[in-house]
Amino acid sequence: MTAAGAPTIDLAAAKARLLALARLAGFSACGVASVELPEDERHLIEWLEAGFHGRMDYMRRHGSMRSRPHELVSGTVRVISVRMDYWPADARDAEATLADPERGYVSRYALGRDYHKIMRRTLAQLAATLAAELGPFGHRVCVDSAPVLEKALARDAGLGWIGKHTNLLARDAGSLFFLGEILTDLPLPVDAPASAHCGSCAACITVCPTQAIVAPYRLDARRCISYLTIENDGPIPEEFRAALGNRIYGCDDCQLVCPWNKYARAATHPDFKVRHRLDGQTLANLFGWSEAEWNARMRGSAIYRIGYEGWSRNIAVALGNAPSTEEVRRALQSRANDASPLVREHVAWALSRHASAPPERIVAPRAG
């Protein structure tokens, strides 16, 4: 990929410059890994063979490219890995929202603008600045959607370890950050992989509402609320509906309980600030948004991907789990004849829960 006859680059100096530029760009950590991931490749194959990816066919589609970045972009010899913190410090307390069954809980990462665009733009600028200083080099920017094992690469780049909940976490930052990469043909000096610090802790495994972490480091995505509410475009299997509680988009429980997240850092990027008061609106209010309102409010958010139908399906389930108030029942009844058969079926399920609600779930309207 490098032009023949190009001047040789001082790779140690180039790496020092990269790290400085990454900080200036707003990344909280940056490191460099090689492209060999034989152990992770083995785990990926086992995970796929177990069917844990459910209907995420894209996890299979690219074959060994996912664990071999040089097969995805030929000439790649290193992966530059970055972290960007997303925890919105202005958000309502996560545990308080989870404990209030009349409000919807939206995963912390989706309260602001869509991270894909923010990260990709910032990474592309970082690569361009570096190329302007060093001369052109081969590269491709990736964030989430590219078929690469981002967590394994970040671990090898020294950015953290893969915890038992399967997210990457770091001693100085917890796990509430996104990952992104630049695949490159520059043979930059590599970092040492980060060491692991889960020890005998298993808090994430115990707390998971759907027992999706079937063994340490092994996640059955088909059981994970993040998959059920985001990736899954069909009905939510009945066996998981009660366990969803009031989680209407994604789930953070395994991360919120992790002791290392007391070191989580607040997002510095202004686009991660909470939008449309998504950190604690009542379910009845959210369910009342028309499709046009939803489109206008959700454009630019990661939530936009699941569409109004998926969003309504999720809220219907949460309303089925909410206390049997007049407001909750009225919200459900208002969409009992929804145009979408998917939404109608989830509303019918929710209403049936209220019809058979034990007396303690039937709640008088709140005063005021």
Catalytically active residues, by annotation = 144
Query: x/- site string to ligand B12, residues 44 to 83, per CB under 6 A?
Result: x--x--------x--x------------------------
Binding site for ligand SF4 (CB under 6 A): 163-165, 169, 198, 201-204, 208-210, 212-213, 219, 224-226, 251, 253-254, 257-260
- Taking CB atoms, the residue at the shortest distance from ligand B12 is 250
Q: Which of 137, 89, 112, 82 is nearest to 266 (CA)?
A: 89
Q: Do 14 and 134 meet the contact criterion of CB atoms below 8 Å apart?
A: yes
Q: What is the CA radius of gyration of the chain?
A: 22
Total of chain residues touching ligand B12, rule CB under 6 A: 36
Whole-angstrom distance, CA of residue 287 vs CA of residue 281? 10
Kindly state whether residue 175 participates in binding ligand B12, applying the rule CB under 6 A: yes
Whole-angstrom distance, CA of residue 346 vs CA of residue 225? 16
Whole-angstrom distance, CA of residue 159 vs CA of residue 142? 16
For ligand B12, which residue of 130, 194, 236, 254 counts as binding (CB under 6 A)?
254
Given ligand SF4, ligand B12, none, residue 98, with its beta carbon under 5 to 8 Å by kind, binds none
Given ligand SF4, ligand B12, none, residue 156, with its beta carbon under 5 to 8 Å by kind, binds none
69: amino acid identity, one letter: P
Would you say 81 or 229 has its CB closer to ligand SF4? 229
Kindly state whether residue 167 participates in binding ligand B12, applying the rule CB under 6 A: yes
Cα separation values, 328 from 193, 285, 321, 335, 353, Å: 50, 9, 10, 12, 12
For ligand B12, which residue of 40, 85, 102, 327 counts as binding (CB under 6 A)?
40
Would you say 240 or 287 has its CB closer to ligand SF4? 240
Q: Do 184 and 79 meet the contact criterion of CB atoms below 8 Å apart?
A: yes
- For residue 197, the surrounding DSSP H or E stretch is none
Would you say 109 or 137 has its CB closer to ligand SF4? 109
Whole-angstrom distance, CA of residue 129 vs CA of residue 308? 39
Kindly state whether residue 43 participates in binding ligand B12, applying the rule CB under 6 A: yes
Kindly state whether residue 243 participates in binding ligand B12, applying the rule CB under 6 A: no
End-to-end CA distance of the chain: 67
Kindly state whether residue 149 participates in binding ligand B12, applying the rule CB under 6 A: yes
Q: Do 79 and 40 meet the contact criterion of CB atoms below 8 Å apart?
A: no
CB of 190 to ligand B12, least distance (A): 17
Whole-angstrom distance, CA of residue 51 vs CA of residue 33? 29
Helix spans in the chain (H) = 11-25, 38-49, 58-61, 69-72, 94-98, 115-134, 150-156, 203-207, 225-226, 238-244, 253-256, 283-287, 291-298, 307-321, 326-333, 341-355
CB of 155 to ligand B12, least distance (A): 8
CB of 162 to ligand B12, least distance (A): 5
Query: x/- site string to ligand B12, residues 185 to 224, per CB under 6 A?
Result: --------------------------------xxx-x--x
Residue ranges that bind ligand B12, judged by CB under 6 A: 40, 43-44, 47, 56, 59, 107, 109, 143-144, 148-152, 162, 165-168, 175, 177-179, 217-219, 221, 224, 226-227, 231, 250-252, 254
